[in-house]
Structure 1
Amino acid sequence: MWFTLASTALETAIGLAMALILCESFSGRGLVRAAMLVPWAMPTVVTSKMFAWLFDGEHGIVNFVLSHAGLTDHNVNWYGSPDTAMATIIIADVWKTTPFMALLLLAGLQTVPKSLTEAARMDGAKSWTIFWYIRLPLLMPTLLIAGLFRALDAFRIFDLVYVLTGGGPADSTETLSTLSYKVLFSTLQFGYGSAVSTAMFITEGLIALGFCICLVRQIRRVG
């Protein structure tokens, strides 16, 4: 649940900022939009290995940059310590999946009538006022749908965690997907593993139900 909440919130916030930038007209916008999708298009296993090298406790470039910037006086064992392993996975997931959120929100922003924003500018409204009172209310249904997709995907995450940490250290990054895999195929406890999988399915159903209730209320309010 902590991973789902943190990754979904960060990806939504950063993705919204990226969508707002890419919605504006500037030179090379098409190239930037295409380049934005590269992290999302990369296989998750490749992303996991890349971040394993970046955050390596001995020779990782992150420790190199931090030590030369004077921010740390020793190497940090990022995904080998229970204190930092979850944060490392969240950073990797945010880097990979934020473009997906930005793409969905960009599509939603492009449905906002330009006449509304132009009229607001003519009346002297600032950019923040236009965003808060015009763009954001009209974007809320798209925001909820994107959040629903991302939350469900984050809750059942397996490959990134399995490749990067394997659920460790000390089960600090264990998810229901990795737990059910270990129980089913490592310890061969088929009953327990099936129960974990069923609990994960029911929880995802409850998450989807919560988002759908909020979505219906928002659509009725806008309508």
Structure 2
Amino acid sequence: MSTTSAAAGEVGRAAGGGDGDNGGKVPLSDRARSERRLGWYLAGPAFVVMLLVTAYPILQAFYESLFKYRLTDPDAREFTWLNNYLVVLTDGVWWRAVGVTVLITVITVAVEAVLGFALALVMHRALRTLRPVLRTAILVPYAIITVVSAFAWFYAFSIDSGFVNSWFAWVPGISENTNWFGEFGTSVFVIIASEIWKTTPFISLLLLAGLAQVPEDLQEAAKVDGATWWQRMYKVTIPNMKAAIMVALLFRTLDAFRIFDNVFIMTQGANNTEVVSFLAYRQTISRLEIGLGSAVSVLLFLCVVLISFLFIKLFKVDLASARGER
């Protein structure tokens, strides 16, 4: 067997959880069991508190969604079972909001994954003396509060006070009178650009942690065997980072799907840029339709659960094997 084949075999065992006759499942050692038990003891109390804090609002929202209830007319509260969900799911506004949300989520996560991986590689390969400087510089956008970042991007692209039109007037299609928030396409572009600028450092840090877990001996073995940089990346680096990639993409996808601040500040849902979170806000806060707003919130929660389920099934990552537990 060649060195590259051996390295690929090690990669497959690391990413897939072994190659035994029992489907790759290896019994946990006593040390692994004790570490897992200790982890539950340490994280258990916090997990219970978080579960109680999050479970109550979810259950309360589901309860309110079963009523036809407008805050301005509390005496007309009426139990309607699942009628609010039927109203939401048969309304084109809901499906348009879902479509815009999916569009923003897919583009932002895809671009951030590529840029974040590139930044992670730069930070991983940088000289030891430059790593703190690079990491600090890359983290600056992520350290800024989302509302502040959204206002900064809004004013930068504003037709009245922005500098983007004057700076980039030489680019075809851009002039000093370009109204970025006057159409759907340009509005979504600014929203997506602001999201990418703000949260790419988050993905880069998670992927940097994954790069640190890639065994150097596999890299050297593949290099000695004549594998190119792309072959080493595809056969060695990425398979060993499968768990880190899943965590990064899952967390970022869930966060992007719940986008609210940028849409609220930049467009207020105008030009068909309304997303699911903003739809829930508009129904609950603006129109005071507690029942319908709660139904939208519950549906948003179910979408997040579905996304989590699909990610876990898609990547099929054995986190215990990724941590090296046997």
TM-score using structure 1 length:
0.91
Instruction: After superposition, give the CA deviation of every residue in 1:164-195 in whole Å (9 maximum; x if it has no partner).
Output: 22222x3x221111111111111111111111
Given the alignment, which residue of 111, 115, 118 partners 1:14?
115
Given the alignment, which residue of 197, 202, 216 partners 1:100?
202
What does 1:1-223 correspond to in 2, within 5 Å? 1-26=102-127, 28-69=130-171, 72-73=174-175, 75-168=177-270, 170=271, 172-215=272-315, 217-219=316-318
1:94 Cα offset (Å): 0.4
* SS of the residue 1:153 aligns to: helix
* Contact 2:159 2:176 (8 Å CA) reproduced: no
Amino acid at match of 1:77: N
In structure 1, stretches of 5+ residues that fail to align are: none
Structure 2 Cα separation of the partners of residues 70 and 199 of structure 1 = 42
* Contact 2:165 2:175 (8 Å CA) reproduced: no
TM-score using structure 2 length:
0.63
* SS of the residue 1:83 aligns to: helix
- In structure 1, the residue matched to 2:75 is none
* SS of the residue 1:146 aligns to: helix
Structure 2 Cα separation of the partners of residues 166 and 86 of structure 1 = 12
* SS of the residue 2:168 aligns to: helix
Greater mean alpha carbon deviation, residues 125-134 or residues 72-81: 72-81
* SS of the residue 2:183 aligns to: coil
1:211 Cα offset (Å): 0.6
Q: Which has the higher contact order (CA 8 A, sep 6+)?
A: 2
Structure 2 Cα separation of the partners of residues 185 and 59 of structure 1 = 30
Q: Which of structures 1 and 2 has the bigger CA Rg?
A: 2
Amino acid at match of 1:84: T
1:73 Cα offset (Å): 4.5
Structure 1 Cα separation of the partners of residues 304 and 174 of structure 2 = 40
1:69 Cα offset (Å): 4.9
Using the aligned pairs only, state the percent identity.
38
Amino acid at match of 2:203: M
CA RMSD of superposed structures (Å): 1.8
The alignment covers a number of residue pairs equal to 219
Structure 1 Cα separation of the partners of residues 238 and 173 of structure 2 = 37
Q: 1:6 to 1:56 in 2, by over 3 A?
A: same
1:77 Cα offset (Å): 1.2
* SS of the residue 1:188 aligns to: coil
Q: 1:153 to 1:73 in 2, by over 3 A?
A: closer
Instruction: After superposition, give the CA deviation of every residue in 1:110-150 in whole Å (9 maximum; x if it has no partner).
Output: 00011111222222222221111110111122111111101
Structure 2 Cα separation of the partners of residues 203 and 70 of structure 1 = 39
Q: 1:72 to 1:164 in 2, by over 3 A?
A: closer
In structure 2, stretches of 5+ residues that fail to align are: 1-101
Instruction: After superposition, give the CA deviation of every residue in 1:68-97 in whole Å (9 maximum; x if it has no partner).
Output: 456634532112322211111000000000
Q: 1:139 to 1:183 in 2, by over 3 A?
A: same
Structure 1 Cα separation of the partners of residues 148 and 281 of structure 2 = 21
Instruction: After superposition, give the CA deviation of every residue in 1:12-57 in whole Å (9 maximum; x if it has no partner).
Output: 1110111111110335222011111110010011101110122112
Structure 1 Cα separation of the partners of residues 133 and 175 of structure 2 = 40
Amino acid at match of 1:219: D
Structure 2 Cα separation of the partners of residues 126 and 132 of structure 1 = 10
